[in-house]
Structure 1
């Protein structure tokens, strides 16, 4: 018996486990489907690509996407302590203040969340009105500084766009170098930042290799979870609350498996309906992206990152290409007049990126392109089977709203304009994957054939529909959801840091603090990790 059972040891789950267990009188269990984060490729920044399609990845795909010529897109998700923060691009981005204010949810405006961003942050640039120090989450400047990625920023400025040395300050618009969730050239995942420092607490138990199959209820209240570790049934009981932090795909799946969802989905599968919640699994959003790829002869790309000289540089100084997050630079633009904030973001990578990162690079290359920040298109997560280990049925519905395709066409035109700049000429010698012309018809077809995801799913258990403003699942007691699925709409940017800030606030909601001030960490030894 625990006070809290947290399902999912990812970006939100690790935050909650650490913060709630600061109270030595509270018993916390964090349950994770995957293993501990001991694989070295997690902590070596450039090693993340080696984790795709492995046992540390849920290895999901979309179902046929009708507006992408029927293609299926690869959807990596971390299945390990740290979750997807153990294999993401490490970009530290808060999004635009307008994003949070547009939710119109009490307590979730940007002014409400800023103290939690600051509380979480340990920025190597030092404290300021925009940044915090001393928090668990390390934020650092790049130690790779690849000249190809730098040239992309210079070319964007040459094309007439402003430079920006801090996307989390007053203005989001412009181009520059991303800050990263790294410390001393190593990845700082949510497990590294929050969970490992809490590992000595006797009131925190971390249970790995257990996939939760359903939530247990008694008299309309969540009282625990049941799952499997291999052939062993594992039951974990919660005296206060069950907190689902399984992500935008797995959280709605677990709710539906537990009888919370649309009866039209659950009844045909023989799942008894506990609570009619037709919005569970709906409202799925993501940031679609499309890359231009150019090859060149300049020997600076990440293709050489594992050469002996760079291995030595990393071992001795924790610097060089092995510290690269891949999309080292980028920027935010407004593709048309009258917009209140950017609608397109760019990521520039000194590497050949093809087919969602699954194809091995074969030449020195530059890959960059636009992603759509405010998509109107919506998808869904549904069940394919009542069997808990069956992968959910995911369809994002990219470009099902015509305005989204129009926005990507405008973004792609900007990308092609940047490619024409003199500064970028040494790195755009040979077009490898670019449109055959700049006609609108060809750009549309290029986008349909080459769109990939930026791996930012959200919205499937949204505040205001599935959840109330304190993240409680409507219709039952003792159950909350805390992860990217709770966002009513996507933020403009990479959502990992926002999820951690939201989890920080959720911890205060759970313990009734609401002060925005961190508690003193509990000390002690003997915590159990099994």
Structure 2
């Protein structure tokens, strides 16, 4: 029996568990389906793709994507302490102020969420109007700075983009190096920052336990049941059960627990607790549409694992093994009338083929646009009542005219940069580029080669599935705290916004706890 049971030790769950456990009078249980984050490949930044389709990955694929020529898209998600923050590219981007103001949810405007971004942060460059020090999460400049990454920035400037040294300092437009969740050249996941950095006797962490459903009794969540190997387990919660299982798994768990579209649940003979058609809807993600050029200069990440580079990493935290992959990039607008960027550019000094699943065979530069304000919407639903079956995920990428137009114009922007003088020595041979640069050719290329850039959000959105305090509508004692609660996707990488959500949720939960304590204290006792 615990006060709080949290399902999922990822970008949100680790933060929330650590913050709630700061109160020594409460007990917290954090449950992770995967193992501990002990693999060296987790902590070496450049090794992130080596974790794909391993025990540390949920190893999801989308269902056939109608608007991507029927392709299935690989969807890596962390199944390990730290969740996807243990296998991602470590880019620290908060998004645009318009994103949060656009949510139009009380308490979630930009001015209201910025303090929670700052509370987490320990910025290498010190504190200031846009950054803070003293938080658990290290944010630092990358230490690789490959010549190709610098050349990409110079090329973008040559064709008219501004240089931007800090995408989190107000203005997003422009190009530069990304800031990263790293310390001394090593990855900093939320497990590293919030769990391992401090030990709390009132926080229990259970690994290798897959939760099967939430226990709901008389309209209230009272715990969860799951299994470790063949051992069935139950964890009871005095106060709350909190799902931090992510955009794919949180709606799946709600549906397995009888909260979701009644027709779907009945089809799988799951008793309906709350008919909530919105559970699993509103799925959004960012795509990357990569261009790949090969060249003859031996400076890519192709040989990053060479003994001399291992020695550099171990000695002083430098060298190509500190690379996060997409070291450089930026933000641009495909139309002059837009209020903020709608394209993120990402550039990596490596041949990044088949969504990271392919083996690089030559020195190469990969870069391209990621449309960051998609209007296409997908869904997550059960494929079986068996909780170990993967959910049915359909993203509906490029389903709308606006998304196709943004993809094509984003490719034009990237191709213009590719032709700039600063990049000529790295774009000797087009390994993967559009056959035609007319509108039809660019749209076809996006459909053929666009893939996820791992930012799914929205399937338990505020105002639909949860309220503005992230409580599940229709069930007491149950919340969702992860990227699935975002009504719309931010302009940029989603790890930092997910951490922010958990920071704010901790305050919401503690405020409720304090209010209940005051109410109990004010209740007259009977003699």
Taking structure 2 as the reference length, the TM-score comes to 0.97
Corresponding residue for residue 455 of structure 2:
456
Task: Check whether the contact 1:138–1:188 (CA below 8 A) recurs between aligned residues.
Answer: yes
**1:217 CA drift (Å):** 1.1
- Matched with 1:112 is 112
Shift of 1:162: 0.5
Please tell me whether residue 134 in structure 1 is matched to residue 139 in structure 2: no
Corresponding residue for residue 254 of structure 1:
253
Provide the secondary structure at the position in 2 that maps to 1:164.
coil
CA distance in 1: counterparts of 2:354 and 2:200, whole angstroms? 43
- Counterpart position of 2:520: none
Shift of 1:306: 1.1
CA deviations 1:471-504 (Å, max 9, x no partner) are 0000010000000000000000001011001100
Deviation at 1:436, TM superposition (A): 1.3
Partner of 1:155: 155
Shift in Å, 1:424: 0.3
Is contact 1:508-1:514 (8 Å) kept?
Answer: no
Task: Give the distance between the partners of 2:46 and 2:164, measured in 1 at CA.
Answer: 25
| 1:121 aligned partner | 121
Q: Which residue of 2 aligns with 1:503?
A: 502
Please give the per-residue CA displacement for 1:91-115, whole angstroms capped at 9, x wherever unaligned. Answer: 0000000000000001111111110
Residue 102 of structure 1 aligns to a residue whose secondary structure is helix
In structure 2, distance between residues paired with 1:201 and 1:193: 14
* 1:280-291 superposed matches below 5 A: 280-291=279-290
Whole-Å separation in 2 of the counterparts to 1:424 and 1:302:
17
The residue aligned with 1:350 is: 349
Partner of 1:20: 20
Residue aligning to 1:87: 87
- SS of equivalent to 1:512: helix
1:166 maps to 2:166:
yes
Q: Distance in 1 between matches of 2:343 and 2:405?
A: 12
Q: CA RMSD in A?
A: 1.0
Q: In structure 2, what is the Cα distance between the partners aligned to 1:88 and 1:394?
A: 20
Equivalent residues of 1:137, 1:188 under 8 A apart: yes
Q: Unmatched 5+ residue regions in structure 2?
A: 515-527
Q: Deviations over 1:414-459 (max 9, x none)?
A: 1110011010001000000001121111111111100011010000
- Cα distance in 2 for partners of 1:73, 1:44 equals 26
2:407 — aligned with what? 408
Task: Write the distance in 2 (CA, Å) between the matches of 1:340 and 1:302.
Answer: 37
Does the CA-based 8 Å contact 1:9-1:81 persist in structure 2?
yes
- Partners of 2:37 and 2:311 lie apart in 1 by 24
For 1:114-157, what per-residue CA distance to the aligned partner results, in whole angstroms no more than 9, with x for missing partners? Answer: 10111100000000000010100000001101010110000000
Q: Give 1:197 shift.
A: 2.4
Counterpart of 1:338 in structure 2 is 337
Q: Is the contact between residue 4 and residue 242 of structure 1 (CA under 8 Å) also seen in structure 2?
A: yes
User: Over residues 66-112 of structure 1, what are the superposed CA-to-partner deviations in whole Å (9 max), with x where a residue is unaligned?
Assistant: 01010001100000000000000100000000000000001111111
CA distance in structure 2 between the partners assigned to 1:268 and 1:283 by the alignment: 21
| Match runs of 1:95-494 below 5 Å | 95-198=95-198, 200-494=199-493
> Deviation per CA, 1:395-415, whole angstroms, max 9, x where unpaired?
000011111001100000011
- 1:170 shift after superposition: 2.0
User: In 1, distance between residues paired with 2:446 and 2:513?
Assistant: 45
| Equivalent-residue separation in structure 1 for 2:52 and 2:182 (angstroms) | 20
C-alpha contact 1:505 1:514 (8 A) present in aligned 2: no
Write the distance in 1 (CA, Å) between the matches of 2:465 and 2:205: 28
Shift of 1:308: 2.1
* Inter-partner Cα distance in structure 2 for 1:437 and 1:62: 28
* Partners of 1:312 and 1:81 in 2: CA distance: 27
Deviation at 1:316, TM superposition (A): 1.0
Deviation at 1:307, TM superposition (A): 1.4
Q: Distance in 1 between matches of 2:409 and 2:437?
A: 11
TM-aligned CA deviation for residue 12 of structure 1:
0.4
**Inter-CA distance 238–351: structure 2 relative to 1 (3 Å threshold):** same
Q: Within 2, Cα distance between the matches of 1:494 and 1:243? A: 24
What corresponds to 2:524 in structure 1?
Answer: none
**Could you tell me how far 1:513 is from its partner in structure 2?**
7.9
Runs of 4 or more off by more than 6 Å in structure 1?
none
- 3-state DSSP class of the match of 1:11? coil
Alpha-carbon shift at residue 514 of structure 1 (Å): 11
Deviations, residues 297-318 of structure 1 (Å, cap 9, x unaligned): 1111000211122122112111
Kindly tell me the number of residue pairs found equivalent between the two proteins. Answer: 514
Q: TM-score, normalised by structure 1?
A: 0.96
The match for 1:521 is none
How far is the alpha carbon of 1:352 from its aligned partner?
Answer: 0.3
Q: What is residue 519 of structure 2 aligned with on the other side? A: none
Aligned equivalents of 2:505 and 2:193: distance in 1? 17
Q: Secondary structure at the match of 1:501?
A: helix
Q: Give SS of 1:94's match.
A: coil
Task: Tell me whether 357-366 or 310-319 shows the greater mean CA deviation.
Answer: 310-319
| CA distance in 2 between partners of 1:312 and 1:22 (Å) | 38
